[in-house]
Structure 1
Amino acid sequence: MPLALPLEKYSLSDKQAVINFGIKSGLKLIFFTGASGGHIMPALALRRKFPDASIIAVKTPASVDTLENAENVHYISPISFKKFRFGALREMFSLFVFACRLSPDKIVCFGSYLNFLGLLCARLSRCELVFFEPNASAGKGSLMLKRFADRIFTVFPSAAKELNGCARAVKFPVISAMRSKEKILQEVGFDFDKPVLLVIGGSQGSRFINAVVTAVIDKLSFAQIVHITGPKDFEKIQNQYQRHRGKHIVLPFCSTMPIFYSIASAAISRAGAGTLAELSYYKIPSVLIPYPGAGGHQKFNASQFASSAAAVVIKEEDINKENFPAVIENVLFRDFWKIRENVAKIEIADDGTDFAEKLSEVRHGHARGISA
């Protein structure tokens, strides 16, 4: 049974619930993000501690949706190095002028090729450059540009080792839901006594996860389901849910994920760093299906959970119609409490307080008159 969801009730404006806990908010900051939720969401979570920080993001339909309620956002068009446009040069020049006029105290880069633009802006404005590396295996950008960064923060110790020890541990910033689980269940029309299965494939969705879940949808009547499909598969997947004998919500995209994390009993997900941090923060048992591309980052990320029995990790090629429903049911019922206890021990995320406190520390030569 499909349900209508009043999403307007759950706007996650980054001006809401700003709590600084004594953190110096007088810092002038610029956050450089990419286009994906994995880059944008930690920046939004951290900006709740620094509400006046500016965000530079790659402009795509997904990033515009994610940042719809955010203020002080500046977009730059996607850059293609194969078909470079003169308009991109104009945008970059405007960005450099903006950075120099703002004269920030720190520039924080959250990943993607915008790290390089963040580096250039930091040099032009003569401010501190900070990289955030959330993956268990350091990305190419962090490895290539590490010697230019004043500070690098990592979530996983394995990434710090790859960066030759020039990194400092930090918890991944996550946005907290500001409503109780009971209240949200009531408002979305879900039953209190039936588990909720959250199906997500990253900010753009996963066609593989969409296909394997809908292939067994008639065998998942034991759960209420929230399925974020991504924009490309939405109509097709929505039609497939006519076979589901239970309550469900199917959405192409959701910029208010904390409300669903707060009611989820278990999740089926890719293994992006941001998703794993959110699963850890909300203590959600999960079935992780790492995306096999992207340099194997998700495989390394998932291994951190698998080694602690904090999730069930399964490769794409090992999934079929016969075994998948049993895997899901075991996570929701038989193994639920054991996995939940283990995922609760993986303390890799918080509401941004840890990152904010460490970011507020002054480094010699970059103080600009602001004391920590």
Structure 2
Amino acid sequence: MNADKPRVMISAGGTGGHLFPAEALAGILRARGFEILLVTDNRIGELAERFPADKVVAIPAATPSGRSPLAALRAVVTLARGFFQARRLIARTRPDVVVGFGGYPTVPPLLAGSLAGCRTVLHEQNGVIGRANRFLAGRVTHLASSVPELRGISGAVKAKLVMTGNPVRANVLEAAKIPYPEISADAPLALLVFGGSQGARIMSDIVPQAMALLTPEMRARIRITQQARPEDLERVREAYAASGVKAEIEPFFRDLPGRIAKAHLIISRSGASTVSELAVIGRPAILVPLPGALDQDQAANAALLSDAGAALMLPQTEFTPQRLAQELTTRLADAEGLTKAAQAAKSAGIPDAAERLADLVMRLASKQG
């Protein structure tokens, strides 16, 4: 690594929700002359190949849970191992700033950086702070937030809060340049459905049944692009074929931002990256928050677009074929309403969030923040 360049250590768990905003920040900082060290866990896989880092280091991490005291103890031991590895890495690389993007893989590097006297930034993507970030928030220099009113923080932590928005990748910014597709009386209606690793199953269960309840005329107009788990692909394809709905069903879409831009309506979960991308690109949605989360972070995320008039938030208990068919019938028949919802989503987006966060990091690196 280059000793002449300012150096930033970025820590993010190996899932898209944490890595995508980290990737956006890293791209901006590298363009500004910084050297980037990514510290993550072993889940990163092929995502490491495209991450704009000079070096990628995996350290042990685990998530403590209440399922059993033994499992919690094992997780704490694993995090302790990660902490000591991170402490040695920081002593060797001497980063100017350590930036974390949440999740328990962020705990060892941020804690080690804080104890070593490094300037530290913690970014919270969701509308309510997560447990790992809540543990770290009192120990960092600044807490960057995606939303103006971050829930779940104390008064002391609020003094550290900087609202930057949630950084989105370059391909999202490119997709944001595409105008909302025009809707005419007989033209096809593009519907995009995805649910992430924990949500695709219910989309495969509910959406095809809802399509079967629509009028034949509406089914003939709809064009569905849907993410489904590999084990569900054939049954979903067969269900749409039986209903006469044209559909493209795949387990993963590498060009998801572009597909969002081409859609008239999105049905999805409401993870932080999804909500941020819908807002920056500017597309209306029906959002089904993942239930059962202790922090109810997806519900808080969905409320941001729902309150803006850009999305309908449906609790999973209300996400039935009958209710979805009713909502689709109403929305797809209202071209003006969909267009206004797209505009509302766009107005809620923060396309320069990565630059805002990079500015904060640069101020800290220059000892001005």
Alignment-derived partner of residue 276 in structure 2 = 277
Structure 1 residue 200: Cα displacement: 1.5
CA distance in structure 2 between the partners assigned to 1:38 and 1:279 by the alignment = 14
Structure 1 residue 242: Cα displacement: 3.4
Structure 1 residue 122: Cα displacement: 0.5
Q: Of residues 42, 46, 51 in structure 1, which corresponds to 2:21?
A: 42
What stretches of structure 1 of length at least 5 have no aligned partner?
A: 1-24, 186-191
CA distance in structure 1 between the partners assigned to 2:315 and 2:207 by the alignment = 14
Structure 1 residue 230: Cα displacement: 4.2
Structure 1 residue 212: Cα displacement: 0.8
CA distance in structure 2 between the partners assigned to 1:216 and 1:271 by the alignment = 20
Alignment-derived partner of residue 146 in structure 1 = 137
From the superposition, tell whether residues 354 and 198 of structure 1 become closer, same or farther in structure 2 (CA, over 3 Å).
same
What stretches of structure 2 of length at least 5 have no aligned partner?
A: 65-70
**Counterpart residue type for residue 339 of structure 2:** W
Alignment-derived partner of residue 358 in structure 2 = 356
Structure 1 residue 95: Cα displacement: 3.6
Is 1:325 aligned with 2:304?
Answer: no
TM-score (norm 1): 0.78
Check the 8 A contact 1:109/1:115 in 2, yes or no. yes
Structure 1 residue 283: Cα displacement: 0.2
**Counterpart residue type for residue 40 of structure 2:** A
- Alignment of structure 1 residues 185-204 onto 2, 5 Å: 193-204=187-198
Structure 1 residue 312: Cα displacement: 1.0
Alignment-derived partner of residue 33 in structure 1 = 12
CA distance in structure 1 between the partners assigned to 2:308 and 2:143 by the alignment = 26
CA distance in structure 2 between the partners assigned to 1:202 and 1:297 by the alignment = 15
Deviations 1:113-171 (A, max 9, x none): 12321223313543111110121122222323221010001111221683422201102
CA distance in structure 2 between the partners assigned to 1:114 and 1:101 by the alignment = 20
From the superposition, tell whether residues 262 and 116 of structure 1 become closer, same or farther in structure 2 (CA, over 3 Å).
same
Alignment-derived partner of residue 124 in structure 2 = 133
**Counterpart residue type for residue 280 of structure 1:** A
CA distance in structure 2 between the partners assigned to 1:204 and 1:321 by the alignment = 19
**Counterpart residue type for residue 225 of structure 2:** V
From the superposition, tell whether residues 97 and 241 of structure 1 become closer, same or farther in structure 2 (CA, over 3 Å).
farther
Say how many residue pairs are matched. Answer: 333
Is 1:123 aligned with 2:114?
Answer: yes
**Greater helix share, structure number:** 2
Structure 1 residue 349: Cα displacement: 4.1
Check the 8 A contact 1:122/1:128 in 2, yes or no. yes
- Alignment of structure 1 residues 14-29 onto 2, 5 Å: 26-29=5-8
CA distance in structure 2 between the partners assigned to 1:288 and 1:113 by the alignment = 26
CA distance in structure 2 between the partners assigned to 1:57 and 1:288 by the alignment = 29
From the superposition, tell whether residues 36 and 102 of structure 1 become closer, same or farther in structure 2 (CA, over 3 Å).
same
**Counterpart residue type for residue 344 of structure 2:** N
Alignment-derived partner of residue 114 in structure 1 = 105
- Alignment of structure 1 residues 1-372 onto 2, 5 Å: 26-51=5-30, 52-60=35-43, 63-70=44-51, 71=53, 72-79=55-62, 81=64, 82=71, 84=74, 93-123=84-114, 125-159=116-150, 162-164=153-155, 165-166=158-159, 167-177=161-171, 178=174, 193-218=187-212, 219=214, 220-230=219-229, 233-234=232-233, 236-243=235-242, 245-295=244-294, 296-334=296-334, 335-350=337-352, 352-362=354-364, 367=366
Deviations 1:86-105 (A, max 9, x none): 88766654443223211111
From the superposition, tell whether residues 230 and 152 of structure 1 become closer, same or farther in structure 2 (CA, over 3 Å).
farther
Check the 8 A contact 1:330/1:336 in 2, yes or no. no
Structure 1 residue 172: Cα displacement: 1.1
Deviates more, 1:345-354 or 1:304-313: 345-354
Structure 1 residue 203: Cα displacement: 4.5
CA distance in structure 2 between the partners assigned to 1:129 and 1:272 by the alignment = 25
CA distance in structure 1 between the partners assigned to 2:356 and 2:257 by the alignment = 19
From the superposition, tell whether residues 198 and 69 of structure 1 become closer, same or farther in structure 2 (CA, over 3 Å).
same
CA distance in structure 2 between the partners assigned to 1:290 and 1:160 by the alignment = 17
CA distance in structure 2 between the partners assigned to 1:200 and 1:361 by the alignment = 38
Check the 8 A contact 1:200/1:268 in 2, yes or no. yes
Structure 1 residue 199: Cα displacement: 0.9
Check the 8 A contact 1:56/1:74 in 2, yes or no. yes
Comparing both chains, which one has the higher relative contact order based on Cα–Cα distances under 8 Å and sequence gaps of 6 or more? 1
From the superposition, tell whether residues 316 and 180 of structure 1 become closer, same or farther in structure 2 (CA, over 3 Å).
closer
Structure 1 residue 246: Cα displacement: 4.3
CA distance in structure 2 between the partners assigned to 1:243 and 1:58 by the alignment = 43
Structure 1 residue 77: Cα displacement: 4.8
Check the 8 A contact 1:138/1:163 in 2, yes or no. no
Deviates more, 1:125-134 or 1:221-230: 221-230
From the superposition, tell whether residues 147 and 279 of structure 1 become closer, same or farther in structure 2 (CA, over 3 Å).
same
From the superposition, tell whether residues 29 and 203 of structure 1 become closer, same or farther in structure 2 (CA, over 3 Å).
farther
CA distance in structure 2 between the partners assigned to 1:330 and 1:176 by the alignment = 34
Report the 3-state secondary structure (helix = DSSP H, G, I; strand = E; otherwise coil) of the residue aligned with 1:50: helix
Alignment-derived partner of residue 67 in structure 2 = none
Report the 3-state secondary structure (helix = DSSP H, G, I; strand = E; otherwise coil) of the residue aligned with 1:312: strand
The percentage of counterpart residues that share the same residue type is 23
Report the 3-state secondary structure (helix = DSSP H, G, I; strand = E; otherwise coil) of the residue aligned with 2:325: helix
Structure 1 residue 318: Cα displacement: 1.8
Alignment-derived partner of residue 189 in structure 1 = none
From the superposition, tell whether residues 316 and 195 of structure 1 become closer, same or farther in structure 2 (CA, over 3 Å).
same
**Counterpart residue type for residue 341 of structure 1:** Q
Root mean square deviation of aligned Cα: 3.1
